[in-house]
C-alpha cells in the first residue's frame, strides 16, 4: 500500500471499478449484476453515494452490502436492506420507471450498444455457449440508463453481434420506441480498460468520451471493429485514488475474488 | 388485438387456463392433510421422466439440493428444466444425466465463479438442447400468469432482440397504447421443488429473506414438493399468518431436509460452501471428473445425513453458519486459481 496521496499501482479491474463507481450519483437507484458492477456499486456507496438505492433482481432492495456477494441472490444482497422482496417486485419497479441505472456486462457489443451474452458462433451449434440473458434483457429494456462494463478489443467491439441478447439502441434513432420498449431509456455509458464511451445524441452511435491514463485515442480506435465517433476533445480520466484502492482491497474485496483477476 | 410477431422457441409448460383450473381443482387438496414424506418417496411419486420442471430459489441460493441428488440417484431422465437463473442446480442435474433440455434464461454460468465447465460442454456438444431463450423477468411473469390462471402476461421486455426471436412468446399491438407489447405464455411446470426455512406438516411455509420467484412458482407448479430446514407446529404458523408465503393447499409433499441447500446458500442459516464448489468446478472439467463427483457425493451416500458427514459434518456447517453471519472471512479456492 502506498503513502497517503501517492499514486498507487492498480490493475485494470480496479481501474474499471473506480471509473464506474464515479458515474453513480447519490440519491439514484441502480440495478446491479454479478461481479465488477457490485464492486463499483459498493465503492460508490462507501464514498460519494451513501444513499444509492441498490436493486438486485432476486429481490434485495436498498442493502448496505457488507462484503462481495457471490450471487446477486445471496444473503449479502439484502443485508441491512430496506426490503427483501422478490423478482416480481424488482423487475416490476424497473418496468414502472423507478430504476434509474442498470449495470451490464457483455461478451460482444455493437455501435448502438446492443449486447450479446448468449452465444459466440451459431445459436444452435455454438462455438461458445454463454449463460444467456439472465436479467440482462430486462435491465436493458426497463432501466432508464444502462452502463456496460466490459473488456475492449476487436473481437468484443464488433460490427455485427453473433446474437442480440439485450437491446441497446437496436438499429438506431427511434428503434427502441418503435419496437415497443419504454420511452427515454437506453445505453448511457460503456466503460472499458481503455476508456469511457457514450452515445451520440442524434445518431445514437457510440462515441468516445475519455481515455484512461496512458491510453491514446488510436489505441481505442485500433481495438474497435466498428467506426467509433471521435469528438475533437477527448479528456483523460483520473487514475484511481489511494482512498478508492484501499477501500477496494481492504474492505470490499479483501480476498481479491474480483479485483485479483 | 393485432398479432405482430412470434418467437421460434419451443413452447413448454403452457396449458389452457381451463385445463389448468381443472388440474388445480382435482389435484390440490384444500384440507389440512399431513404431507410429510421421505425424499425417496417424494421423487418417486411426484417426478417423472420427460417432465418439465423448475427449482425454487436462485440456482445456488435456497436450493433443494437433496431433491436434486435424489432425482439423480433414481435416474430421472430426459427432463426439461426451466432455466430461471439455473446455476449449480442445472449443472449437477446435467452432470447426473437427468436434464437434456433447457428453457433458458440463465444457465451454464456460476455467477462470480465463472462459466460452468460441465454445463457449457454439454450445451456446446449438443448433449443438452436449448429449446428456447427468454429473460429472467420473462420467467417470473410466465409463472405469474400461471399463478393467476391467465393464458399470458404482458411485459415491455425482449422486444427487438434475438432473445425474443428464440423465445416462445408473441408480440401484439396493445389495444390501449397502440404500441407493440410482449405476451409471455403462462408456465405451469409439471413439478417444482421449493426449499424453505420452516413449514408445518401440512405445507404452510415461511421463508426468511427474498422469496425470489417462489410465491408465483409455488402456485404455477402442477406438483409441488416443499423441502424444509425444519418442521414446525401448525400453531406457530397460525400465530404469524403474515409470514406464510406458500399455503398448504398448493403443496403436494413436505420433506424435512436439514442443510438441504448445501453447497448453496441458505439465508441466515449458512453461506455457500466455496471449498465444495471449487471441488465440483475442478472435477467437472472432464466427464471422468463429473463421474468421480457423482460416485462420491451422490451414489456413494445413502441419504443427506451421510452426505453432510462427507462434506465435513456439523463442523463444516458451523463454519458456514459463521461465514453467513460475517464472523469469518470468505475463502474461495476457485478465486485463487486465477491469480
3-class SS shares of chain B: helix, strand, coil, % to 5: 40, 20, 40
Q: pLDDT at residue A209 above 80?
A: yes
Query: What stretch of H or E contains B101?
Result: strand B99-104
A10, three cell numbers = 492498480
The pLDDT, as a whole number, for residue B200 is: 98
The pLDDT, as a whole number, for residue A6 is: 55
Structural domain boundaries in chain A: 12-252
With CA atoms as reference, report the closest residue to A220 among A209, A232, A211, A207: A211
Nearest residue in chain A measured CA to CA from B208 = A84
Q: pLDDT at residue A3 above 60?
A: no
The pLDDT, as a whole number, for residue A76 is: 97
- The string of DSSP letters for B270-338 reads B---HHHHHHHHHHTTSHHHHHHHIIIIIIT-SSHHHHHHHTTHHHHHHHHHHHHTTSS----HHHHHT
Nearest residue in chain A measured CA to CA from B334 = A257
ipTM: 0.97
Task: Assign A7 a pLDDT band (cuts: 50, 70, 90).
Answer: low
Q: How far apart are CA A257 and CA A255, in angstroms?
A: 5
The pLDDT, as a whole number, for residue A35 is: 86
Confirm if A76 and A65 have CB atoms less than 8 A apart.
Answer: yes
The domain made up of B3-337 is a member of CATH 3.30.2130.10: no
Nearest residue in chain A measured CA to CA from B108 = A131
Mean pLDDT estimate for chain A: 95
The pLDDT, as a whole number, for residue A2 is: 41
The minimal CB distance from A133 to the residues B58, B105, B159 is found for: B105
Q: pLDDT at residue A92 above 80?
A: yes
A-facing residues of B in 276-315 (CB < 8 A) are none
The string of pLDDT tens digits covering residues B64-111 is 999 999 999 999 999 999 999 999 999 999 999 999 999 999 999 999
Q: How far apart are CA B25 and CA B222, in angstroms?
A: 11
Q: Which residues of B touch A84 (CB under 8 A)?
A: 209-211
Count residue pairs from A and B with Cβ separation < 8 A. Answer: 222
Mean pLDDT across the stretch A81-108? 97
Q: Which fold has domain A12-252?
A: Glutaconate Coenzyme A-transferase (3.40.1080)
The string of pLDDT tens digits covering residues B202-218 is 999 999 999 999 999 99
The minimal CB distance from A70 to the residues B108, B111, B137 is found for: B111
Mean pLDDT across the stretch B121-129? 93
Mean pLDDT across the stretch A18-42? 95
Q: pLDDT at residue A1 above 60?
A: no
B141–chain A nearest CA distance, Å? 7
Give catalytic residue positions of A: 57
Query: Quick check: A137 and B104 CB within 8 A?
Result: no
With CA atoms as reference, report the closest residue to B213 among B83, B52, B98: B83
The string of pLDDT tens digits covering residues B173-183 is 999 999 999 99
Structural domain boundaries in chain B: 3-337
Mean pLDDT across the stretch A202-222? 97
DSSP code at position A249 = I
The minimal CB distance from B159 to the residues A128, A135, A179 is found for: A179
Q: pLDDT at residue B338 above 50?
A: no
Query: Quick check: A255 and B335 CB within 8 A?
Result: yes
Q: Provide the percentage of residues in chain A whose pLDDT is more than 90.
A: 92
| Higher per-residue confidence, A163 vs B336 | A163
Q: Which of A6-10, A84-88, B92-96 has the lowest mean pLDDT?
A: A6-10
The string of pLDDT tens digits covering residues B213-272 is 999 999 999 999 999 999 999 999 999 999 999 999 999 999 999 999 999 999 999 999
Amino acid at each position: 500500500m502506498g503513502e497517503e496521496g501517492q499514486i498507487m499501482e492498480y490493475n485494470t479491474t480496479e481501474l474499471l471499478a473506480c471509473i464506474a463507481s464515479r458515474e453513480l450519483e447519490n440519491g439514484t437507484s441502480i440495478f446491479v449484476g454479478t461481479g465488477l458492477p457490485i464492486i463499483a456499486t459498493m465503492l460508490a456507496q462507501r464514498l460519494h453515494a451513501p444513499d444509492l438505492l441498490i436493486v438486485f433482481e432476486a429481490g434485495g432492495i436498498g442493502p448496505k452490502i457488507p462484503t462481495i456477494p457471490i450471487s446477486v441472490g445471496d444473503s449479502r444482497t439484502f443485508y441491512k436492506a430496506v426490503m427483501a422482496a422478490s423478482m416480481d417486485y424488482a423487475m416490476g419497479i424497473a418496468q414502472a420507471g423507478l430504476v434509474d441505472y442498470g449495470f451490464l456486462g457483455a461478451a460482444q457489443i455493437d455501435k448502438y450498444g446492443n449486447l450479446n451474452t448468449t452465444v459466440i458462433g451459431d445459436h444452435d451449434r455454438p462455438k461458445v455457449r454463454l449463460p444467456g440473458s439472465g436479467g440482462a434483457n430486462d435491465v436493458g429494456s426497463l432501466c432508464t440508463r444502462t452502463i456496460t462494463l466490459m473488456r475492449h478489443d476487436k473481437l468484443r467491439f464488433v460490427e455485427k453481434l453473433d446474437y442480440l441478447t439485450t437491446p441497446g439502441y437496436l438499429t438506431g434513432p427511434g428503434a427502441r420506441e418503435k419496437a415497443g420498449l419504454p420511452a427515454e431509456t437506453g445505453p448511457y455509458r460503456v466503460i472499458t480498460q481503455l476508456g469511457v464511451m457514450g452515445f451520440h445524441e442524434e445518431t445514437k452511435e457510440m462515441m468516445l468520451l475519455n481515455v484512461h491514463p496512458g491510453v491514446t485515442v488510436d489505441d481505442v480506435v485500433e481495438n474497435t471493429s466498428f467506426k467509433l465517433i471521435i469528438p475533437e476533445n477527448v479528456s483523460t480520466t483520473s487514475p484511481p485514488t489511494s482512498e478508492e484502492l484501499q477501500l477496494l482491497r481492504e474492505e470490499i474485496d479483501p480476498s481479491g475474488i474480483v479485483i485479483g483477476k | 388485438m393485432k398479432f405482430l410477431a412470434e418467437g421460434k422457441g419451443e413452447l413448454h409448460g403452457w396449458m389452457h387456463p381451463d385445463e389448468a383450473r381443472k388440474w388445480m381443482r382435482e389435484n390440490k387438496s384444500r384440507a389440512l392433510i399431513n404431507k410429510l414424506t421421505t425424499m425417496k418417496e417424494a421423487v418417486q411419486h411426484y417426478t417423472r421422466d420427460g417432465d418439465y420442471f423448475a427449482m425454487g430459489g436462485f440456482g445456488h441460493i435456497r436450493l433443494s439440493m437433496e431433491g436434486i441428488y435424489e432425482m439423480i440417484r433414481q435416474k430421472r431422465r430426459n427432463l426439461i428444466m426451466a432455466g430461471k437463473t439455473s446455476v449449480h442446480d442445472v449443472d449437477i442435474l446435467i452432470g447426473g444425466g437427468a436434464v437434456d433440455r433447457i428453457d433458458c434464461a440463465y444457465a451454464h454460468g456460476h455467477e462470480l465463479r465463472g462459466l460452468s465447465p460441465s454445463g457449457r460442454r454439454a450445451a456446446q456438444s449438443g448433449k443438452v438442447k436449448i429449446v428456447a431463450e427468454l429473460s429472467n423477468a420473462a420467467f417470473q411473469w410466465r409463472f405469474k400468469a400461471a399463478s393467476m390462471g391467465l393464458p399470458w402476461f404482458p411485459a415491455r421486455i425482449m422486444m427487438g432482440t434475438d432473445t425474443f426471436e428464440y423465445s416462445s412468446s408473441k408480440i401484439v399491438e396493445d389495444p390501449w397504447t397502440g404500441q407493440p407489447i410482449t405476451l409471455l405464455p403462462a408456465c405451469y411446470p409439471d413439478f417444482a421443488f421449493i426449499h424453505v426455512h420452516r413449514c408445518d406438516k401440512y405445507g404452510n411455509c415461511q421463508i426468511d429473506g427474498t422469496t425470489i420467484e417462489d410465491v408465483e412458482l409455488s402456485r404455477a407448479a402442477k406438483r409441488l414438493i416443499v423441502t424444509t430446514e425444519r418442521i414446525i407446529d401448525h400453531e406457530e404458523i397460525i400465530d404469524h399468518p403474515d409470514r406464510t408465503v406458500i399455503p398448504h393447499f398448493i403443496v403436494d409433499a413436505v420433506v424435512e431436509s436439514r442443510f438441504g441447500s448445501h453447497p448453496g446458500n441458505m439465508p441466515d442459516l449458512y453461506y455457500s460452501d466455496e471449498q465444495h464448489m471449487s471441488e465440483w468446478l475442478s472435477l467437472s472439467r472432464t466427464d471422468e471428473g463429473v463421474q468421480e463427483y457423482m460416485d462420491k457425493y451422490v451414489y456413494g451416500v445413502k441419504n443427506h445425513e451421510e452426505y453432510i458427514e462427507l462434506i465435513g459434518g456439523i463442523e463444516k456447517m458451523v463454519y458456514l453458519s459463521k461465514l453467513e453471519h460475517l464472523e469469518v472471512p470468505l475463502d474461495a479456492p476457485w478465486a485463487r486459481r486465477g491469480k
